[in-house]
Chain A
Amino acid sequence: MSRSPRSGMVENRGLGLWLTHAGLILGVAFIFFPIWLAFVASTVSQPEIVHPPMPLVPGDQFFENYRKALVAGVNAPVALMLLNSGVMAIGIAVGKIIISLLSAFAIVYFRFPFRRVFFWLIFLTLMLPVEVRIVPTYEVVAGFGMLNSYSGLILPLIASATATFLFRQFFMTVPDELAEAARVDGARPMQFFWDILLPMSRTNIAALFVILFIYGWNQYLWPLLITTDPSMNTIVMGIKQMFPSGDDIADWPVIMATSILAMLPPVVVVIGMQRLFIRGLVESEK
């Protein structure tokens, strides 16, 4: 369709475009403002924060505050807590993905006794999030002597009905003929899983990894319960523990620096996986 560039239609669209952008920018600013405040607070000195008005431009204490947070922290060095959180988040994400891939594979491709029962059992666990079963789970983990350990942080959170369902749905869209072709080609079930099903699921795996990593990273209640040793603290609970109790004076710049640091890994994962994720989406085809 040809239209003069000065026609009302185009101008309207131009205006609409600007309005849309203005709206979006406003929205982003609105969401981003607290984060900006936290960042500013992490770059100034303690006296500057407690004296109103609150500073709105970064100060000159950036390196000082972040160094202090990373190596010293309040209870434990932030670097260590970041490491703990990273191990837990990756452990949960990878563990959940492996378990749910395997269970979905079993449910979709194998006929075994009580298949439906198992299916519904997995389904039932959806109704039992960590918070609901936290006391018995604590009992079990304590009984195994896994308090203050990575396995204690990771294992109880690994079983995942949601991810199992997602993979089950995906596997069911894979044509049966593909499994049959592989069978004719001589592939054993696990070979089919490795060589064909797994590469075909990579998009779903990437998406799930992002979601589960953030889920694991943001765990608060469970780590709080089972880690008493500060060296096993995770960052999310660590921040909370930095808050002053009673008359202590809070070192706000360091707390803010810690908050900013705690935000970075999920952002990195989202951005890093997004590329893979979108590439997978564009390429994927069944």
Chain B
Amino acid sequence: MATVTLNDVRKRFGTTQVIHGVDIDIAEGEFIVIVGPSGCGKSTLLRMVAGLETVTEGEVRINGERVNDKEPMDRDIAMVFQNYALYPHMSVFDNMAYGLKIAKTPRTEIAERVQVAAKLLQLEPYLQRKPRELSGGQRQRVAMGRAIVRKPAVFLFDEPLSNLDAKLRVQMRLEIKQLQRELGVTALYVTHDQVEAMTLADRMVVMNAGRADQIGAPLDVYAHPQTEFVAGFIGSPPTNFLDAAVLGGQGARLGIRPEHVHPGPAGSGRITARVLDAEALGAETLIHTRLPSGELLTVRQNGTTGCPGEGEEIGLDWADADEMRFGPDGRRI
């Protein structure tokens, strides 16, 4: 268990700046998820914590100690890679034991630790198999096992579930969460999947083009996005954005989540819109509309509520409290 602190961390590859100063304070045993679109620098940030990438500027501290110049093995971390990176010619047992062997751990202790990890991950029947003789989910577990046996202070995950099918992903997600809780190890988890982020995180870090736009508990981030980017990235279907000038009030842009918009008869509410299409998904219905200004707006309503037909005009209303207004720089007002 350990704390991890990033102090104004920056990264340049040659002349291109990829990370523009990130500050994060991670408490002991906390599960932090870094989420953001492709190319925003999530992996780069994680790899700087791992020590696989040099830190251009700023400081990475693990347990208060500056680790910028330390080799990965001396940082007391373990990492799970997206493609698992299992050693193909070694058995599952040897894959998990390799790090311990290098650390010259006594043989009996290695066997014991691997057994414990294998039991935890239900890998006992497969210890003598080679990675290619395992299913994707089992390989994923071996990669986890390799991280666990080392008893690291920090787990680092780089999109560990993205190679699995949807169902397995849900199952493994739960397992990872449970495991992390059981072991109490601080975890830093990178994903571009907001569902993973919402369900796993104690706190999540929403990254946007090399900056941490917002750091906070998932529901808090969802309810109170600090920037237009966060409001648009977190939530599905995404937040509607309107030109604030059309409706009056301050700010440049107005964001309103689909579930906060209530449809009514034409002429009622704040604004009138024409229905383009209605998607009935069973539990909920998504109504796509076009405003007189030409902007599109999606409404999300309960699946049992009657839904207007295509081309019909409806009135849209929402509570003042649900409005999110953003300045011209994208920051929340």
Question: CB < 8 Å: which of A182, A183, A186, A286 contacts B88?
Answer: A286
With most chain B CB atoms within 10 A of its CB, the pick from A178, A180, A181, A286 is A181
* B72 is an interface residue with CB less than 8 A from chain A: yes
* A199 is an interface residue with CB less than 8 A from chain B: yes
A200 touches B102 (CB 8 A): no
B73 touches A184 (CB 8 A): yes
Chain A residue numbers with a CB within 8 Å of B72 are 180, 183-184, 186
Q: A178-B87, A200-B88, A286-B88 are in contact. Are A186 and B81 (CB under 8 A)?
A: no
Chain A residue numbers with a CB within 8 Å of B174 are none
A153 vs B166: C-alpha distance in the bound complex, in angstroms? 62
* B89 is an interface residue with CB less than 8 A from chain A: yes
A181 vs B83: C-alpha distance in the bound complex, in angstroms? 11
Chain A residue numbers with a CB within 8 Å of B50 are 184
A198 (CB) vs chain B CBs: closest residue = B89
Q: A185-B98, A185-B99, A187-B102 are in contact. Are A180 and B88 (CB under 8 A)?
A: no
Question: CB < 8 Å: which of B77, B79, B89 contacts A181?
Answer: B79
B88 touches A285 (CB 8 A): yes
A191 vs B99: C-alpha distance in the bound complex, in angstroms? 11
A32 vs B325: C-alpha distance in the bound complex, in angstroms? 88
Contact with B along A148-181 (1 / 0, CB 8 A): 0000000000000000000000000001011011
A57 vs B299: C-alpha distance in the bound complex, in angstroms? 95
Chain A residue numbers with a CB within 8 Å of B150 are 185
A280 vs chain B, min Cβ distance (A)? 10
A187 (CB) vs chain B CBs: closest residue = B102
* A195 is an interface residue with CB less than 8 A from chain B: yes
Interface residues of B in 38-70 (CB under 8 A from A): 50, 52
B176 vs chain A, min Cβ distance (A)? 18
B102 touches A180 (CB 8 A): no
A183 touches B85 (CB 8 A): no
* B177 is an interface residue with CB less than 8 A from chain A: no
A205 vs chain B, min Cβ distance (A)? 13
* A196 is an interface residue with CB less than 8 A from chain B: yes
B83 touches A175 (CB 8 A): yes
What does DSSP make chain A's interface, helix, strand, loop or mixed?
helix
A181 vs B158: C-alpha distance in the bound complex, in angstroms? 12
Q: A185-B98, A185-B99, A186-B99 are in contact. Are A180 and B71 (CB under 8 A)?
A: no
- Tally B residues with Cβ within 8 Å of A: 23
Chain A residue numbers with a CB within 8 Å of B319 are none
A9 vs chain B, min Cβ distance (A)? 38
Contact with B along A129-147 (1 / 0, CB 8 A): 0000000000000000000
* B35 is an interface residue with CB less than 8 A from chain A: no
Chain B residue numbers with a CB within 8 Å of A181 are 79, 81, 85-87, 146
A200 vs B98: C-alpha distance in the bound complex, in angstroms? 15
* B132 is an interface residue with CB less than 8 A from chain A: yes
Chain A residue numbers with a CB within 8 Å of B73 are 183-186
A175 touches B85 (CB 8 A): yes
A175 vs B98: C-alpha distance in the bound complex, in angstroms? 18
A191 touches B79 (CB 8 A): no
B156 (CB) vs chain A CBs: closest residue = A184
A180 vs B84: C-alpha distance in the bound complex, in angstroms? 11
B87 touches A180 (CB 8 A): no
A180 vs B82: C-alpha distance in the bound complex, in angstroms? 12
B184 vs chain A, min Cβ distance (A)? 21
Chain B residue numbers with a CB within 8 Å of A199 are 89
A177 touches B102 (CB 8 A): no
A184 touches B88 (CB 8 A): no
A28 vs chain B, min Cβ distance (A)? 37
A182 vs B146: C-alpha distance in the bound complex, in angstroms? 11
A183 vs B132: C-alpha distance in the bound complex, in angstroms? 22
A199 vs B150: C-alpha distance in the bound complex, in angstroms? 24
A183 touches B71 (CB 8 A): yes
With most chain A CB atoms within 10 A of its CB, the pick from B83, B98, B150 is B98
A177 vs B150: C-alpha distance in the bound complex, in angstroms? 18
Contact with A along B273-295 (1 / 0, CB 8 A): 00000000000000000000000
A285 vs B146: C-alpha distance in the bound complex, in angstroms? 20
Q: A191-B102, A195-B98 are in contact. Are A184 and B79 (CB under 8 A)?
A: yes
The 6 closest A-B pairs by CB, nearest first: A186-B73, A185-B99, A177-B85, A181-B85, A199-B89, A186-B102
**Chain B interface (Cβ < 8 Å from any Cβ of A):** 50, 52, 71-73, 77-79, 81-83, 85-89, 98-99, 102-103, 132, 146, 150
**Chain A interface (Cβ < 8 Å from any Cβ of B):** 175, 177-178, 180-187, 191, 195-196, 199-200, 285-286
Q: What are 7 contact pairs spanning A and B, CB under 8 A?
A: A178-B87, A184-B78, A184-B79, A185-B146, A187-B102, A195-B98, A285-B88
